[in-house]
Structure 1
Amino acid sequence: MTDAFTESLEAKVAEVEAIDDLLARGRAALEARQALAASDQALYAIQQAAVQGLYPGRTWAQVGELFGRTHAWAEAIARGRSSKRRKSDHAVQPTPNARAAEGHAEDTGTP
């Protein structure tokens, strides 16, 4: 990150912290985080395209090394399996407990 980018983020945080009204401060923080998340997704897409573009003619280990990371990181980024995936790529609700679905009490014992 550049100094200007870091300074800009720090200035925004200070601006939000300085808001006296709790609701207004909370809303300002929410808006700032939403903008940051949108930018993060755009940067992730750029990074993913770069990793994918560097792969032909190289191994995942070589691509990972170019970024100072592992082969697993490079492959996960290229395939969209990293922790930075959009939340909409995940299940909205957890899978229900099979025991509960069958009308049984939840198992609280230890194995």
Structure 2
Amino acid sequence: MTDAFTESLEAKVAEVAAIDDLLARGLAALEARQKLASSDQDLYAIQQAAVQGLRPGRTWAEVGELFGRSYAWAEAIAKGRSSKRSKTDHAVESTPPAGAAEGQPTDTGTPDQP
């Protein structure tokens, strides 16, 4: 990373931290993080294309070594299996509670005592 990028990022963090109103500060932080996440996904796609482009004629270990990483890292990036996948790769709904398929109630409170 360049010094200008780091300085710009640090300046933005300081700007957001200096906002007095808690709601305005929280909203500014949310907006900044959303922009970072979008840019991060774009950079990930660029990195993935580079790894895939370097693969022909090389082993995953050789590609990983070019980046100072492991073969598993290189293969995961190329195949889109890293932790930087877009959020659309995940389930939209949460896992149902245990026993829901059997018709058991989801209430985990204490049963009524006689």
User: Same-fold call, TM > 0.5?
Assistant: yes
Residue 66 of structure 2 is aligned to residue 66 of structure 1: yes
Deviation of 1:92 (Å)? 1.4
Paired with 2:22 and 2:82, the residues of 1 have a C-alpha distance of: 35
Aligned residue type for 1:4: A
What do you get for the CA RMSD once the two structures are aligned? 1.7
CA 15–98 in structure 1, closer or farther in 2 if over 3 Å, else same: closer
Deviation of 1:100 (Å)? 2.1
- Unaligned 5+ segments in structure 1 are 107-111
Paired with 1:85 and 1:68, the residues of 2 have a C-alpha distance of: 21
TM-score normalised by structure 2 residue count: 0.87
User: What residue in structure 2 maps to residue 21 of structure 1?
Assistant: 21
Deviation of 1:8 (Å)? 0.5
Paired with 2:37 and 2:69, the residues of 1 have a C-alpha distance of: 23
Deviation of 1:102 (Å)? 0.7
Deviation of 1:97 (Å)? 4.5
User: 1:1-111 counterparts in 2 under 5 A?
Assistant: 1-97=1-97, 99-104=99-104
TM-score normalised by structure 1 residue count: 0.89
* Partner deviation per Cα, 1:37-81 (whole Å, 9 max, x = no partner): 111001000000000000000000000010011111101100101
Percent identity at matched positions?
Answer: 82
Aligned residue type for 1:65: E
- Unaligned 5+ segments in structure 2 are 107-114
Paired with 1:29 and 1:44, the residues of 2 have a C-alpha distance of: 22
Alignment coverage as a number of residue pairs: 107
